[in-house]
Structure 1
Amino acid sequence: MYVYITVNKKFDDQIRVSYSKTEIVDHVDQIEHNIIREALKIAGIEKGIEIVYMGDIPLGSAGVGLGSSSALAVGVLHALFAYQGKAVSAEFLAQKACEIEIDRLGNPIGKQDQYAVAYGGFHRYRFNADETVFVDPVICRPEMKEALQSNLMFFYTNMTHISSHILAEQKENIPQKMRNLDRMVEMSCEAERLLQQNALDDFGALLDEAWKLKRELASGVSVPEIDEMYAAARKAGALGGKILGAGGGGFMMLYVPENARQSVREAMRRYREQTVSLEPEGSKIIYVR
């Protein structure tokens, strides 16, 4: 799934930003769209430009758990620097997108979305205490990646969430939830090992354990409707899964062996299924005039 950004020189000195609404302003500080405004400031562009964006999934204030705000931040930065004739690295894009969302806008979020969008591929990310980030490829057989992609199913819960509300509570709960968080860090190592060993069904079961731990991090991570949806999927043959993003709505990802996919689809017939593929390249410029 993608976010598409187009940048063009404007005939006059105004700035036009077009998304679900259109803004036409005289100066960058007048732009209401906070991510676009801050990206323009970082790129040093104050006037005479048009920015248009659209996405394969909704890009609104309420989240769906697929990292769309970070995809927009990384993509707009990439487009703006390319517009200026500047080549920038994935690391630079990820860092600057984090600066926008975390430092400038004060959102209580992590860095995983920005780095995943910028780098693409199949990686393990280590976020260190000194603010450095290690990005290492997961080394596994190509057929394992294909099988993993086939066994992952995504369903829209028909609910959205305000991730900042959930994450703010989650941040407050960190001292009381260190055991959960430590185990979740351990599970990232375990998950990588299982993938390298082609133990896909064990990876699916690990998702179930991870979801149970995540549900305990904040009260809004799950709601009765989500619990019922997940229980129905498990009963139909899913080995594990989770709500993507902060929780409370958006998309549910399920790990489903091939022999159970049809029964899971039947159990999830009230919900829209969405096909999602692994993206090997991350953010990229696809056309320069």
Structure 2
Amino acid sequence: MIITQTPFRISFVGGGTDLEAYYKTNYGAVVSTAINKSIYITINKRFDDTIRLSYSKTEIVDHVDDLQHDIAKACLKMTGVERGVEITSIADVPAGTGLGSSSSFTVGLLNALYTYIGEQKSAQELAELACRVEIDILKHPIGKQDQFAAAYGGMNYFRFNSDGSVEREKIQITDVMKREMNRKLMMFYTGIKRSADGILKKQSQDTASKLDILNYMRDQAGTLKTILNQEGFNDKFAEILHQGWQKKKSITNGISNGNIDEIYQQALEAGASGGKILGAGGGGFLLLYCDEAKQPAVRNAVGLRELDFRIAERGSRVVYFA
């Protein structure tokens, strides 16, 4: 049996510039971090030649082509594992909440499958293979940031070049900075689950008319990287989150709505300094920067379920092999 653990991520700035429709015009950039919420993939040899796949539903099929789960089917075919296996997935957080869960699933499954056939892949290779599955093979209208964040872990600046290549620059945060981030960053679940595909597809279609906004968001990634590297974690972080969220909302309909705007405004009035909806928008988790003294008031104001999380250093890894 093999078990992989792959982290979810939170993206601070630059989200949307990792879409091909944008980065092929120049380059895109994102600053994001892995968090201590993960998806676990198990794979085990089955007694017979059938495939059993268990996620939110369970499939038992005679051949890989009969699977309904498109990502699992593509990963199995890519690795040549087409019969006689049982695969399960267990996640700390539900899908469709803006934490990159689909790509974490893809990276974690590929890591497990390649380990199963005796091949070891680097983080860069896992991320590139996951992009090939989701974007090239399955034609999902998504970007590349989630796959790389899940594979590498830690806090990073990712640059998405016009030729499709991706460069990673690790942001070296001190233990003091990490403790400050863990204390001051809050995350609340809006209660809205959604598929990012529709929003991202519309965003890609609107890219040409929104280049000035996307350029601003891309440049924010470089600014935040410099601040974190030179000054550390401070109030400028909150300002950048807020400014980026205001810009992102104007890209296309569906990224925000009246309910989300009201919750965010309530958080600001209660003492939060800045924040954003994570992922493509439309629901999922609200990330806030807030001094500890004001956090009780913010919790009371938003009235939503809070997710306790921490910055995580490790990317996708095999945690059990027997």
TM-score bucket of the superposed structures, by smaller chain = over 0.9
Instruction: Quote the Cα distance in structure 2 between the aligned partners of 1:140 and 1:252.
Output: 23
Match of 1:15 in 2: 51
Match of 2:79 in 1: 43
How far the C-alpha of 1:10 sits from its partner, in A, is 0.6
Question: Is residue 232 from structure 1 mapped to residue 266 from structure 2 by the alignment?
Answer: yes
Match of 1:57 in 2: 93
Match of 1:265 in 2: 299
Instruction: Quote the Cα distance in structure 1 between the aligned partners of 2:59 and 2:174.
Output: 48
User: Structure 1 residues 79-88 or 67-76, which shifts more?
Assistant: 79-88
Question: Is residue 180 from structure 1 mapped to residue 213 from structure 2 by the alignment?
Answer: yes
Q: Which structure has more RCO (C-alpha within 8 Å, separation ≥ 6)?
A: 2
Match of 1:85 in 2: 118
Instruction: Quote the Cα distance in structure 1 between the aligned partners of 2:239 and 2:294.
Output: 14
Aligned positions of 1:40-189 closer than 5 A: 40-59=76-95, 63-189=96-222
Instruction: Quote the Cα distance in structure 2 between the aligned partners of 1:134 and 1:149.
Output: 26
User: Structure 1-normalised TM-score?
Assistant: 0.96
Question: Deviation digits for residues 2-43 of structure 1, max 9, x if unmatched?
Answer: 101110001111111011211111111000011111110111
CA contact (8 A) 1:205 1:239 kept: yes
Aligned positions of 1:178-257 closer than 5 A: 178-196=211-229, 197-257=231-291
CA contact (8 A) 1:107 1:164 kept: yes
Ranges in structure 1 where 5+ consecutive residues have no aligned partner: none
CA contact (8 A) 1:127 1:133 kept: yes
Question: Deviation digits for residues 147-196 of structure 1, max 9, x if unmatched?
Answer: 01221100000112221111111111111111111111111111112222
CA contact (8 A) 2:180 2:233 kept: no
Question: Deviation digits for residues 213-242 of structure 1, max 9, x if unmatched?
Answer: 000111000010000000000111111111
* Identity rate, percent: 44
Instruction: Quote the Cα distance in structure 2 between the aligned partners of 1:205 and 1:21.
Output: 42
Match of 1:27 in 2: 63
Could you list the structure 1 runs, at least 4 aligned residues long, displaced by more than 4 angstroms after superposition: none
How far the C-alpha of 1:139 sits from its partner, in A, is 2.7
Alignment RMSD:
1.0
Instruction: Quote the Cα distance in structure 1 between the aligned partners of 2:182 and 2:248.
Output: 23
Aligned AA (1:109): I
Instruction: Quote the Cα distance in structure 1 between the aligned partners of 2:74 and 2:173.
Output: 38
How far the C-alpha of 1:199 sits from its partner, in A, is 4.7
Give secondary structure in 2 for the equivalent of 1:127: strand
Instruction: Quote the Cα distance in structure 2 between the aligned partners of 1:195 and 1:148.
Output: 11
Instruction: Quote the Cα distance in structure 1 between the aligned partners of 2:48 and 2:200.
Output: 42
Match of 2:21 in 1: none
Aligned AA (1:33): H
CA contact (8 A) 2:277 2:284 kept: yes
Question: Deviation digits for residues 62-118 of structure 1, max 9, x if unmatched?
Answer: x11011100100000000111112111001110111111111111111000000000
Give secondary structure in 2 for the equivalent of 1:208: helix
Aligned AA (2:153): G
